[in-house]
Chain A
Amino acid sequence: MSEVLVLIDHVDGAVRKPTYELLAIAKRLGEPSAVFIGGADQASGAAEAVKKYGAEKVYTVDDTEIKGYLVAPKAEVLQQLAEKTSPAAILISSSFEGKEIAGRLAIKLKSGIITDAVDVQSSEGGPVTTQSVFAGNFTVQAKVTKGTPIITVKPNAAAPEEGDGAGAVEEFAATISDAAKSAKIVASQPRQASGRPELTEAAIVVAGGRGTGGNFEPIEGFADALGAAVGASRAAVDSGWTPHTFQIGQTGKTVSPQLYVANGISGAIQHRAGMQTSKTIVAVNKDDEAPIFELVDFGVVGDLHTVLPAATEQINKRKG
């Protein structure tokens, strides 16, 4: 069986959940080989972590020489690994960095690329991807027809599967060109943990828009009662009420939780693009003609500032 390369998404050696999702997909396509580009002292910890999710091989690449140099060196590493292993596919998470690496790699390997897959299945002619396009109004099935399929995958495209792989560690020494060492990270400030679930991973998302008038307390209280992540429309972000990392939609995050609650959000197409595939949708909006109501399983026409605190109280009471 051919190897499938999975680029490990990590922060200082701590492997992020999307990596495990990629490994679950890799198992469908071939033999999962994880690629760790990072500090030599962090490699064994990361290798242990991905082994538990089925990595048969782990290529470790010491990044001392390239750390801080953005993605061009990482694309060179993957290119050289791909030339060595002739993988059946290369899977990368759909983060900013993941997409940059994938884009460069596709040109280097003269290979087709598919971005933002929400599902990947194997077929005789290679991996078949599913993408959600036009603000979630269409799904598209596609295939790479030339070279090594390079696929960037959205969070939650697959459930992580525990199960030991061989996890054989192999150090890989890549040769990095000077040209790749140009754009540089000058400073980096880790995002502060909110204490709530990650937006893209949460089972429940409670979001607020312009209708909050800048007061997110009812949103946060309701979210905490449900154990939910907090999200926002761009209008709320543009007004400076919440950080951009909370934004849901075309130019923010895409979420597909079990339950999405939109409060004081009108339901513009660009917002829908980020939440339309949620399983159950609920809205609270004081305008009974707000387009968001076209999407909902349940809607309350009312003022979020009274409805949400009252509902929060009732939920907390029920939980006892």
Chain B
Amino acid sequence: MNIVVCVKHVPDATADRRFESDNTVDRVGVDGLLSELDEYAVEQALQIKEKSDNPEETKVTALCVGPEKAVDAVRKALQMGADEGILVSDEAIAGSDYVATSLVLAKAISKAGEERAVDLVICGMASTDAAGSVVPAMLAEQLNLPQVTFASVVETQGDQVRVKRDGDTATEVIGGTMPLVLSVTDQTGEARYPSFKGIMAAKKKPLETWSLSDLGVDAGDVGLSVAWTQVEDTTERPPRSAGEIVKDEDGSGATALTEFLASKKFI
């Protein structure tokens, strides 16, 4: 089996995330890392490999589109256990929207599958920065493959994939046949930490960097200037003004809480 996991390098969610003056996400001034939600995708890829009849025959490739320093996201995936890594990096890609990103990913996946067809593409449920959740479906459309998204449980058997998904109105079991695009949620189970051995082994794993011309993508088809959407304005939410905080002593907290709710007409 040939598995590609898409991993995104994102600004640290616990840091002070910002926008640049051109309204793109500041990816330089804020420390970046492998999107935590993509760690779950890497984990599922590794589990599918480990549980397959032929783990040695199964290859997991981590694929990232991003600036040079995004290679850290690929490295982390290699340390966790992915076999190979690919970074697609090109100045022209900066500021790309979902559509352009899915195009570049699709072309890279096609190239990665030139010698051996890709059976499974796994993504996280969303990136932790843009959080749009639409790239997996777009990628499936670009590759003309079926997609199964937001899986909370994943099972594979041969070329069959079965997932559970908790929707707003129902819990569904969805089945599909490889090749397909899968996205997994943080309910699929904790992602492993890289072991010392994994970190050492990662240094020797193949890691390639591709440019747009390697993929046959025209630089004029990607990037901020040709984005199909445009951010007009970004505004920081004003900090909430400090509220009243009381300490509960012998039941005073409950009374104060009830008074507050009544004063705001919630009771």
Q: How far is the CB of A222 from chain B (nearest CB, A)?
A: 9
Complex contact B149–A300 (CB within 8 A): no
B260 and A298 within 8 A (CB): yes
B267 x A318 contact (CB < 8 A): yes
Contact A319 B148 (CB under 8 A): no
User: Is there an interface contact between B129 and A134, defined as CB atoms closer than 8 Å?
Assistant: yes
* Shortest distance between the CB of B110 and any CB in chain A (Å): 15
Mask of A68-90 contacts with B, CB within 8 angstroms, 1/0: 00111001000000000000000
Which residues in B have their C-beta under 8 angstroms from that of A103? 98, 102, 134-138, 141
For A1, the chain B residues whose CB sits under 8 A away are none
Q: Please name all residues of chain A whose beta carbon is closer than 8 Å to the beta carbon of B245 when the two chains form the complex.
A: 288, 293, 296, 298-301
A226 in the interface (beta carbon within 8 A): yes
CB of B128 within 8 A of chain A?
Answer: yes
**Contact segment of B70-78, B79-87, B211-219, B251-259:** B251-259
Given contacts A96-B167, A226-B261, A244-B152, A297 and B98 within 8 Å (CB-CB):
no
Cβ-based interface call for B2 (8 A): no
Interface centre among B102, B125, B243, B264 (most CB of A within 10 A): B243
Judged by a CB distance under 8 angstroms, whether B117 is at the interface is no
The answer to whether A70 touches B166, judged by C-beta atoms less than 8 angstroms apart, is no
What's the least CB distance linking A294 to chain B, in Å?
A: 7
Contact A318 B262, beta carbon cutoff 8 Å: yes
Interface size class of A (residues with CB under 8 A): 35 or more
Q: Quick check: is B168 within 8 A (CB to CB) of the other chain?
A: yes
**Segment with Cβ contacts to A, from B47-55, B56-64, B175-183, B191-199:** B175-183
A115 to chain B, nearest CB (A): 4
Q: Which of A95, A137, A258 contacts B167 (CB 8 A)?
A: A95
Tell which of A29-37, A57-65, A141-149 binds the partner.
Answer: A141-149
CB distance from B189 to the nearest CB of A (A): 10
- Whether A307 touches B258, Cβ cut-off 8 Å, given contacts A111-B228, A112-B97, A142-B231, is no
Cβ of A282 within 8 Å of any chain B Cβ, yes or no, is: yes
* Central interface residue in B23, B132, B232, B267, by most chain A CB within 10 Å: B132
With both beta carbons as reference points, the residue of chain B lying nearest to A184 in the complex is identified as B175
Q: Is the CB of B137 within 8 A of A99?
A: yes
- The smallest beta-carbon distance between A3 and chain B, in angstroms, is 21
| A318-B133 Cα distance, complex, nearest whole Å | 45
B248 engages A314 (CB within 8 Å): no
Which residues of A have CB within 8 Å of B266? 204, 226, 258-259, 280
Chain A 231-246 interface 0/1 with B at a Cβ cutoff of 8 Å (1 = within): 0001000000001110
* Total number of B residues with any Cβ neighbor in A under 8 Å: 83
| Cα separation A279 to B236 with both chains bound (whole Å) | 17
Within the assembled complex, what's the spacing in Å between the Cα atoms of A216 and B267? Answer: 21
Q: Assess whether B144 is in contact with A140, with CB atoms less than 8 Å apart.
A: no
- Closest chain-A Cβ to B11's Cβ sits at a distance in Å of 9
Q: A106-B138, A250-B128 are in contact. Are A288 and B247 (CB under 8 A)?
A: yes
Chain A-chain B contacts (Cβ-Cβ < 8 Å), number: 267
What residue in chain A is nearest B167 (Cβ atoms)? A96
- Note all chain A residues with C-beta closer than 8 A to B111: none
A136 to B237, Cβ gap below 8 A? Answer: yes
Contact A300 to B187, CB < 8 A, known contacts A112-B228, A134-B129: no
Asked if B230 lies at the interface with its beta carbon under 8 angstroms from chain A, I say: yes
Q: Is the CB of A72 within 8 A of B146?
A: yes
Interface status of A295 (Cβ within 8 A of chain B): yes
In contact, B172 and A185 (Cβ under 8 angstroms): yes
Determine the chain A residues whose CB is within 8 A of the CB of B157 once the complex forms.
Answer: none
A296: chain B residues within 8 A (beta carbon): 240, 243, 245
A133 to B152, CA, bound (A): 24
0/1 interface trace, chain A 280-320, chain B, CB 8 Å (1 if under): 11101000100001111111111100111011001100110
Q: Is the CB of B233 within 8 A of A141?
A: yes
Q: Choose one: A72, A96, A311; the contact of B257 (CB below 8 Å).
A: A311
Does A189 lie within 8 Å of B171, measured CB to CB?
Answer: yes
- Check if B175 sits within 8 Å of A96, measured CB to CB: no
Pick the most buried of B19, B98, B180: most chain A CB atoms within 10 A of its CB. Answer: B98
Q: Name B106-156 residues within 8 Å CB distance of A.
A: 125-126, 128-138, 140-142, 144-150, 152
A112-B229, A143-B230, A226-B267 known; A301 and B254 CB under 8 Å? no
In the bound complex, residues from chain A placing their C-beta under 8 Å from that of B235 are 138-141
Q: Which residues of B contact A96 (CB under 8 A)?
A: 133, 149-150, 165, 167-168
Max count, chain B CB within 10 A of own CB: residue among A111, A183, A187: A183
Select B176's contact among A113, A141, A184, A314, beta carbons within 8 Å. Answer: A184
Question: Could you list 12 A-B pairs, sorted by A, with CB under 8 Å?
Answer: A104-B141, A107-B99, A115-B132, A116-B131, A138-B236, A139-B235, A185-B172, A191-B171, A293-B245, A296-B243, A298-B257, A306-B248
Q: A72-B146, A145-B227 are in contact. List 13 more A-B contacts (CB 8 A).
A: A96-B168, A106-B98, A138-B236, A140-B23, A141-B233, A186-B173, A226-B261, A244-B152, A244-B166, A250-B131, A269-B14, A298-B246, A318-B262
